[in-house]
Structures are given as structure tokens and as C-alpha cells.
Structure 1
């Protein structure tokens, strides 16, 4: 087996679907949410007051600032899926074109990168999460089984003069650096 998807053990009996392509020429495999999930709108809480205070160089209430930071932190939607691939491959996670239009959801860093050594790691078995922010005016309600993103397998190249990394992955999500 060269590349593909599996359901992580914690969701083994939850009726999840492995990612799939919906048309013959689709590059991306659609990922579904493993759970019902609500992504709060960034416009909630005292977010606008904090922006106004910062813009006008006014003192920001610490409680309001903490609430704003919490709402601006990306949310991780569980998929219950892990991916295996060749050592010179990567799974790129991308937003679905309908997410910003219909739900206000964006991937904050544009894409997600799932490395080959993320599969079956000690920290979380390699479960893939979709990282999102909701720029919509209202909370985005995601139902279990809703398509929330897509993944594209790709080969990658390394530099000729690269000093080969010697470190092995020691954990799960976000563990390969600061």
C-alpha cells in the first residue's frame, strides 16, 4: 500500500467515511467532520471593542483582550482520519471553495501540511484535524459527516545541499517545531 486513509481507533465504530474524491478528475479527497461542532464567529465577545481600543491607542481591558485572543485562536475540527504515504510525499489540506461562501470558514495559514511521519505517531495516532477560523457573522454549525476540507497527496523535493535532519518525530499536532 502506497498511500491512503484509515480511521483512527477512537472512531473505529462511529460510522465515519474515509476521505473520497467526488468526481473522476478531482485532485482533492473530501474530509468530513467526525463530530457535531460549532465554530464561533470571530465577531463575538468584545472583539470589536478590543480592535477599536488598539486602533485608537487606548487602554485595552485585560478581560476583553483575553476573550478576543480566545475567539481568534483557530479551532480544530476532528476528522477521525489518519493518512499514510511515501517518505517523499505530503498530504496538503486545503479549504473547500464553499466554506468561506456558505459558512465563513477559512484555514488561517492557508493550507495544512501533514507529513508522512505524522501517521501513527505516539501522541495522537496521527489523527488529522481541520484548523479553521469563522469570519462569518454567525456561528458555523458543522454536523457530523459534513465535508469540511480536502486533502491532496503530493511529492515534494529537497535541496541538493541540505544537511539531512537527524531528528525523528516525537509527538503529534504541531510537534515538529515552535
Structure 2
């Protein structure tokens, strides 16, 4: 699959996969930003993309940033729809008690291209019954 990508800023970095088996590609910041403790900010990438209809770009946290610094994507996974042509931005949050500095060029998130299915919604008066029924949060227990 090819994805057309446009640099909106000269410092923008075209994403790439770091290994042959990688599901996600790195997304870089084009700005220097300090995320204060418990703060969230929208970080610019300087890129826009044309994603094929029937697919989405999911923005996900980088595991190393989450493990070592408690930095995550707030609306994880963030969705970039196939008809969006604006700048890709990443909503990061600092869950730690320490400030975290992002410098221009840092890898701040990862992107995954995923197939999207659109459903037809049919209103009915009754739904089929299941063993679980309406059991929700925690209904299956811990063990």
C-alpha cells in the first residue's frame, strides 16, 4: 500500500518502519515542547497524508516513552480518517510527576494503518439473547 504524504514544514520527518516486522512506524515532533507533570498538549508533526478510503491511521503511544517516562497518547488510539487532509498532530499526556521535554525530531508516537469497516445500522425492537446478556464492567470477575 502506498500513502501519499506532504511535508507542511521543512523540519518534518517522513515516517519509516524501524524493523521489517514492525506494525507501527515512527512519528516525529517538529517542535521543542515541555510537557509539565500531568499536562497534555497537541504536538505538531508537520505532515499531512492521503490515506486510502477503507483505511485509517491509528496514532498509538511508543512503549519506551510509556515505560520509562509515563508519556502516552491521551486519546489512544487516535484516529486519522481517510478523508482528513490537515496536519497530523499527536495529543500527548505526561502521567509522571516530572516534566518531560520533547525536542524537534524526537519520535513521539507510532502510526499503524488499519482496515476500517463501516456498518449498516438497522433499528430493531429486540436483540438476540446471549448468556452474558447485559453484564458489563467487571461482570466476568477477576479470576
Q: TM-score scaled by structure 2?
A: 0.78
Aligned to 1:98: 64
Name segments (4+ residues, structure 1) moved above 4 Å.
none
Structure 1 segments unaligned to the other structure (5+ residues): 43-70, 120-125, 163-178
Structure 2 segments unaligned to the other structure (5+ residues): 123-143
Q: Is the 8 A contact 2:73 2:109 kept in 1?
A: no
Equivalent residue for 1:37, pick from 22, 33, 37: 33
Please give the alpha-carbon distance, in whole angstroms, between the structure 1 residues aligned to 2:4 and 2:109: 16
Q: CA deviation at 1:17?
A: 1.4
Matched, 1:26 2:22: yes
SS at match of 2:114: strand
Q: Is the 8 A contact 1:33 1:147 kept in 2?
A: yes
Which is strand-richer, 1 or 2?
2
SS at match of 1:41: coil
Q: CA deviation at 1:110?
A: 2.1
Seen in structure 2, the aligned counterparts of structure 1 residues 21 and 4 have a Cα distance that, compared at 3 Å, is: farther
SS at match of 1:98: helix
Q: Is the 8 A contact 1:2 1:84 kept in 2?
A: no
Equivalent residue for 1:83, pick from 24, 37, 49: 49
Aligned to 1:62: none
Seen in structure 2, the aligned counterparts of structure 1 residues 102 and 5 have a Cα distance that, compared at 3 Å, is: farther
Please give the alpha-carbon distance, in whole angstroms, between the structure 2 residues aligned to 1:149 and 1:160: 33
Q: CA deviation at 1:32?
A: 0.7
Q: Is the 8 A contact 1:130 1:149 kept in 2?
A: yes
Please give the alpha-carbon distance, in whole angstroms, between the structure 1 residues aligned to 2:3 and 2:115: 11
Matched, 1:114 2:80: yes
Aligned to 1:5: 5
| Total equivalences in the alignment | 122
Which is helix-richer, 1 or 2?
1
CA RMSD, aligned part only? Answer: 1.7
Please give the alpha-carbon distance, in whole angstroms, between the structure 2 residues aligned to 1:109 and 1:93: 9
